[in-house]
Structure 1
Amino acid sequence: MKTSASITAKTSLLGLALISLTPAVAVAETSPYYLGASLGAYRSTNVFRESNTSGSDTIVVASLLAGLDQRLGRQRLYGDTSVSTNRYSSNSLLNNLGYSLKGGLDWETAGKLSGTLYADAQRNLADYNTGTNIQIRSKNLEENRQFGLRVRYGLEGPYSIEGDANSRARRYSAKEYDPLEYDQTAYSLGLYYTPSPIWRFGVSARLTDGSFFNGPSPYDYKRRDIDFSTNWVPSGASSLDLRISPTRETRSSGAGSSFSGLTGALAWTWRPTGKLGFQTRVARDTGSQTYYAGIPSASSALSNNVGTSLASQLSYQLTGKVSLDANVSYTTTSSTLDTPFGRIDGDDRYTGWGFGVRWEVVRWLSAGCTYSQSKRNSNVTAYSYTAGTYGCYAQGMLR
């Protein structure tokens, strides 16, 4: 099951494999390195996310993974990598090799300067008919790349200055998805105030510039945000993060309407006991940012969409060797698309839920099963669907 607050259940089996591997990676060990392998079999009830067909299939996923988390004096070097082969029983054209590479360096000087250098790259089979009005039955690989730098400088007293610069890119192998490919760069600079260990306040300016390729009609967009943020940690068992941002987004001529309004997010983490934990997140944002916020992407690169989402996850340590988790999510998106024939309005509602169980057989071997279901209700009947995915896996981990 997913450990982050995601709005829609991933339909790629690579995603499911990585989800199932996450708990083992998080186990605290003395060794800074790990090597592992996983083998799972899953059943998808609607591979292409279509409204008028079941399209079920069985997928076998085999994964190799490795990682490190090493202290080097004041610095910390960390990374996780996995490679997965996905084999479909009935739709062999979808067979693919996916990967996930994530890493970073936390650094600090003897003075007041510190920061993080980070990068990640991922490739997997793209979700079908999720957040887009593009329906195909061909193989479509999605690649995402990101790298960036965060810098923090401590001022006198409880104040600090923090800056962030990052670059993102998304590509698809299917030409039908060219309108959703983009490049994006973002910069932010802010002042933060920490009066006590339980409170932190910040205000920052964020500038985002991007380009949607959109096939024969590429266009640029600019987004400007003022982020007001608050972090409250009333106890060691609970924390609350809030961001409210006046947002202004403009697009180049002929690329659809602009957006001006409030965006933001609220996240709550609560662990009432050592065995039980909850995570909940609410978010409202536009299509240019929601790919990374967990809300489905814009229905078209030319549309101006706003999404509101709620996601919650529960984890429970049943015994010393058995853990359970469950999640539920709901999101609504509305969009407007300017065409030569007039403006088209779109409305979508996504719901998703799932649960899983994991058993630590021995120290280096674990097994588990997962089930997830997703549903899209659209004002365009052809885009509505219901789909489920379930399966089991076994994995080994050496440290």
Structure 2
Amino acid sequence: MKPSRHPNPIHALARAAACAGAMAVVCGSALAQSSPYYLGASLGVTHDNNLDRAKAGVAAQPVLSDSYVSTGVRLGADLPIGRQRVQGRFDANRNRYNTYGQYDHNDYLLNGRLDWSSADLWSGNVLAETRQSLDRSDLNSTSTVAGRNLVKTDVLGLGVRLGGPTQYTFDAGLTGTQVRYDTSTSRNVRQLTGNGGVTMRPGSGLQVRLGARHTRADYPNFNAGAGDDVRRNDIDLSSVIEASGASTFNVRLSRTRETHSAQFARTYTAWTGSTGWTWKPSPKLSFETSLTRDSNIGNTAFDNALFSFDTSDTRLRTSLALRASWELTGKVLLGGGATYSRRTLDNALVSGAGSSSTSASDRTVAWDLSLRYLPMRNVELGCGLRREDRSVSDPNVTITYAYDVTVVSCSGQLYWR
């Protein structure tokens, strides 16, 4: 057993909570006025009983359990300027592990967004974001990387719309994404997605959009420097249905064609899509349900102008997610959710262009619970519990594996607004 490198994290959290409470009492009266800016500090403790998401019983990759302390800063702004709105956010954390110091790392999120509109029918948005986090090795199909592997993602998105209180609205968008890994550089990728479409409003509470997308992606380090060029084309039919003031449905169905210049096993034509339901039966209770089937290249959320990137090494994923939140009192909020996900994956990123590729599938069931306590408008305390269990269809496959992990965390945040 390695000796402890840092003070007991529970004691550190207790001391920080006491200091935060004292600061909140001193500063509370000075924070009565709302402000478009905020500054915050945070302290959290997390226990992870399987840091590498390792399979039990494998001597080459033992199951590592540890606690770590996260200290962070929070900055933000939300400024309405005439018809425009400017938003910015910066979150950064220093994560120090109690025993396994090789996992110590900094994570951050920095983004800015401009929503604009003209005096006539033009409007749009601009988004820029950069973020860094610790890559979870289980998201790679082979999990050959044990230990710290940081992933950095940069995103720039532009969107424009023509239309207003009319039956038709035209939109177009362009999003560029770059993902880089410290260790598993064969997964580095650059992606550019362009799209356009028209939205029709045939009736009250109903929107229907017909659009097209084109995605170009490049894995520059695939197969020892020989890149893989990816092309994806989608025809999208989507709809937003406001069934009532408390119930909204989102539906998207896409015909997708994806081709690869080197990872031939990942060339496919298929139907992809997603559906979601948001239900708020009371002001204090809400439910969200979503069902998605998509790959990681060129996938989309319901914000058609801006596109996300899933950093997992997955050819196709089908997932069902359920989430509920309940405002128990004005100061206590409860939350919970469950997810079922089935992946179809292969080892194309690590097998090389001239090698045969192996396919497999796995299933992951995850659930989480959370409790937030807001004793004052500038103080937030909370704890969470998350459990994941992954199983494989064939125990003899070598590109995925079964594992389980439990993560428990508690944190406190203090804000100046």
Identify which of 138, 143, 148 aligns with 2:152. 143
Q: Determine which structure has the larger strand proportion and give its number.
A: 1
Q: Is the 8 A contact 1:155 1:161 kept in 2?
A: no
Distance 1:33-1:286 versus aligned 2 partners, 3 A rule: same
1:284: how far off? 0.4
Find the counterpart in structure 2 of residue 311 from structure 1. Answer: 321
1:1-399 alignment to 2 at 5 Å? 30-52=34-56, 53-154=62-163, 157-174=166-183, 177-213=184-220, 214=222, 215-253=224-262, 255-289=264-298, 297-299=312-314, 305-337=315-347, 342-378=356-392, 379=394, 380=397, 383-399=401-417
In structure 2, runs of 5+ residues without a counterpart are: 1-32, 57-61, 301-306
Q: CA offsets per residue over residues 265-316 of structure 1, 9 Å max, x none?
A: 10111111111111111100123245976877235xxxxx221101111100
1:373: how far off? 1.1
Amino acid at match of 1:143: K
1:139: how far off? 1.7
Q: Distance in 1 between matches of 2:308 and 2:389?
A: 19
Q: Is the 8 A contact 1:332 1:348 kept in 2?
A: yes
- The alignment partner of 1:129 has SS state of helix
Q: Distance in 2 between matches of 1:152 and 1:107?
A: 10
Amino acid at match of 1:388: T
Amino acid at match of 1:43: H
Q: Distance in 1 between matches of 2:40 and 2:141?
A: 35
Q: Distance in 1 between matches of 2:403 and 2:387?
A: 11
Distance 1:252-1:361 versus aligned 2 partners, 3 A rule: same
Amino acid at match of 2:403: Y
Find the counterpart in structure 2 of residue 302 from structure 1. Answer: none
Q: Percent identity?
A: 30
Q: Distance in 2 between matches of 1:383 and 1:148?
A: 36
CA-based RMSD: 2.1
Q: Is the 8 A contact 2:297 2:309 kept in 1?
A: no
Q: CA offsets per residue over residues 166-203 of structure 1, 9 Å max, x none?
A: 100100111xx112110000000101111334000110
Find the counterpart in structure 2 of residue 3 from structure 1. Answer: none
Distance 1:30-1:237 versus aligned 2 partners, 3 A rule: farther
- The alignment partner of 2:50 has SS state of coil
In structure 1, runs of 5+ residues without a counterpart are: 1-28, 300-304
Q: Is the 8 A contact 2:253 2:274 kept in 1?
A: yes
TM superposition score normalised by structure 2? 0.83
1:104: how far off? 0.5
Pair member with larger Rg: 2
Find the counterpart in structure 2 of residue 24 from structure 1. Answer: none
Distance 1:255-1:179 versus aligned 2 partners, 3 A rule: farther
Q: Distance in 1 between matches of 2:409 and 2:231?
A: 43
- The alignment partner of 1:393 has SS state of strand
1:54: how far off? 3.2
Q: CA offsets per residue over residues 353-376 of structure 1, 9 Å max, x none?
A: 110101112222121111101122
Q: Distance in 2 between matches of 1:62 and 1:262?
A: 44
Distance 1:335-1:70 versus aligned 2 partners, 3 A rule: same
Q: Is the 8 A contact 1:368 1:392 kept in 2?
A: yes
Give the count of matched residue pairs. Answer: 365
Amino acid at match of 1:178: T
Amino acid at match of 2:328: L
Amino acid at match of 1:313: R
Q: Is the 8 A contact 2:215 2:232 kept in 1?
A: yes
